[in-house]
Amino acid sequence: MKAADLAVPAPEPGDRELDAALRPKNLDDFVGQERVRKQLSLVLAASKIRGRSADHVLMSGPPGLGKTTLAMIVAAEMNAPLRISSGPAIQHAGDLAAILSSLSEGEVLFLDEIHRMSRPAEEMLYMAMEDFRVDIIVGKGAGATAIPLELPPFTLVGATTRAGLLPGPLRDRFGFTGHLEFYSVGELELVLRRSAGMLDLKLTSAGFAEIAGRSRGTPRIANRLLRRVRDWALVHGIETIDARTASAALDMYEVDVRGLDRLDRSVLEALVNKFNGGPVGLSTLAIAVGEESETVETVAEPFLVREGLLGRTPRGRIALPAAWEHLGLKMPRNAVAAAMLPFDEDDDEQ
Ligand SMILES: Nc1ncnc2c1ncn2[C@@H]1O[C@H](COP(=O)(O)OP(=O)(O)OP(=O)(O)O)[C@@H](O)[C@H]1O
Ligand SMILES: [Mg+2]
């Protein structure tokens, strides 16, 4: 595994097994996200009292925060079977019709990346969600007829990293939307404590804090770093992982105290050392770090912007004061002036 991969929130091949093993199985085990947890728990409790399948639920938020986990928890809490598919897997309305028509009563249908479903499938889903009915089209052209098909009541759980891309009519058909937020360091410590318990690992409180602080607010990354630290401790014959062990291990994997990885740091270093803090265009910056523009924009920037280290301005990317500080450098006056010019966060230069 490249060091840069450690900090990517999307699942890596090596994560899948551990992801599955460490996934909380019920709402009580699910750490953090108090608001979503309370709201969801109420939705589920009410439908249990009514003796009906739960309202359709949409989970939205960045990768690795627990959308799939919550979908599975919905099925577990409702004692219902779970069917899993995803937007990209449903390219034709017929694909969706086949899934819908084979659902059993009360089943939970989890559609991951629901924003990537095809248009015709999406339209079929509207009717299925609202009226528990689909029209199956038989034949083609003028001779085509729609055969209505009743569906058993089911609960759709949709997940999306891009809630903004969902068409309004689809969004409106969910009874409840849970917006997952990045986790605090304290919450990540709880995630790590739970995982360490399951993996039979011993860590001190400071050891947990050290890993949590470098996990970018993301449980998937926290678990991944824990696994790296575990390997390091094993090879070095260390039984109890303290802050020093955790930090030595993560330093070796080039994940720094704020969770920045090699790519993040080289972007900041280039901005600061080669362009005096910017502004500099994305493609120039990408060439300076020897990466594709797209990699810099989609892999490094979201986190750097969120951390207040990098700004996107109409004139280009700039290093914010926290970036100079993080690199242990003093921000020159002319760089301060460039950074102080008003800019619009959403303004995508070039
Ligand atoms: N609240 C939580 N408490 C404990 N562990 C969690 C929590 N949320 C997520 N995790 C851990 O993080 C891993 C990733 O979570 P999950 O697969 O649900 O993320 P996701 O939001 O579906 O990500 P993606 O958008 O990439 O599909 C899980 O396997 C689980 O181990
Ligand atoms: Mg998922």
Q: How confident is the model at residue 343 (pLDDT cuts 50, 70, 90)?
A: low
Quote the pLDDT of residue 140: 83
* 295 included as an active-site residue: no
Classify the complex by whether its ipTM is higher than 0.85, answering yes or no: yes
**Residue 158 pLDDT exceeds 70:** yes
Ligand 1 residue neighbourhood (C-beta within 6 Å): 10-11, 19, 22-24, 30-33, 63-69, 159, 161, 191, 219-220, 223
Atom 24 (ligand 1) nearest CA = 63
User: How far apart (Å, rounded) are the C-alpha atoms in residues 196 and 348?
Assistant: 41
Q: How confident is the model at residue 345 (pLDDT cuts 50, 70, 90)?
A: low
Question: CB within 8 A of 39, min separation 6: which ones?
Answer: 176, 178
DSSP code of residue 183: P
Quote the pLDDT of residue 346: 52
Atom 16 (ligand 1) nearest CA = 66
Q: How confident is the model at residue 133 (pLDDT cuts 50, 70, 90)?
A: very high
**Residue 330 pLDDT exceeds 80:** yes
Quote the pLDDT of residue 19: 78
Helices (H), the chain: 15-22, 34-50, 67-77, 93-101, 119-131, 168-172, 185-199, 205-213, 219-235, 243-252, 262-269, 275, 282-289, 293-295, 301-306, 321-326, 333-340
The answer to whether the annotation marks 64 as part of a ligand binding site is yes
Q: How confident is the model at residue 278 (pLDDT cuts 50, 70, 90)?
A: confident
Geometric angle at alpha carbon 115, from 144 and 101, rounded to 5°: 45
**Residue 9 pLDDT exceeds 80:** no
Ligand 2 centre to CA of 127 (Å) is: 25
116: three-class secondary structure by DSSP: helix
**Residue 66 pLDDT exceeds 50:** yes
Per-residue model confidence as pLDDT tens digits over 221-238: 999 999 999 999 999 999
Quote the pLDDT of residue 344: 54
Mean pLDDT (the chain) is: 91
Atom 30 (ligand 1) nearest CA = 23
User: How far apart (Å, rounded) are the C-alpha atoms in residues 240 and 58?
Assistant: 41
Q: Which of 120, 125, 115, 121 is nearest to 156 (CA)?
A: 125
Per-residue model confidence as pLDDT tens digits over 284-303: 999 999 999 999 998 899 89
Per-residue model confidence as pLDDT tens digits over 28-38: 999 999 999 99
The mean per-residue pLDDT over the stretch 176-203 comes to 96
User: How far apart (Å, rounded) are the C-alpha atoms in residues 314 and 338?
Assistant: 12
* Residue whose structure tokens are 């390997």: 231
Domains of the chain: 33-179 (3.40.50.300), 185-252 (1.10.8.60), 262-340 (1.10.10.10)
Quote the pLDDT of residue 1: 41
**Residue 125 pLDDT exceeds 60:** yes
Quote the pLDDT of residue 321: 94
Ligand 1 centre to CA of 9 (Å) is: 10
User: How far apart (Å, rounded) are the C-alpha atoms in residues 207 and 245?
Assistant: 8
Quote the pLDDT of residue 42: 95
Are 304 and 259 within 8 A, CB to CB? Answer: no
**Residue 111 pLDDT exceeds 70:** yes
Per-residue model confidence as pLDDT tens digits over 301-325: 989 999 999 999 988 999 999 999 9
Quote the pLDDT of residue 5: 65
Ligand 2 centre to CA of 287 (Å) is: 32
Residue in 8, 69, 165 to alter for ligand 1 test, most ligand atoms within 8 A of Cβ: 69
Quote the pLDDT of residue 104: 95
Quote the pLDDT of residue 144: 86
Residue in 220, 221, 227, 298 to alter for ligand 1 test, most ligand atoms within 8 A of Cβ: 220
* Residue whose structure tokens are 């995630």: 191
Ligand 1 atom nearest to 66, measured from its CA: 18
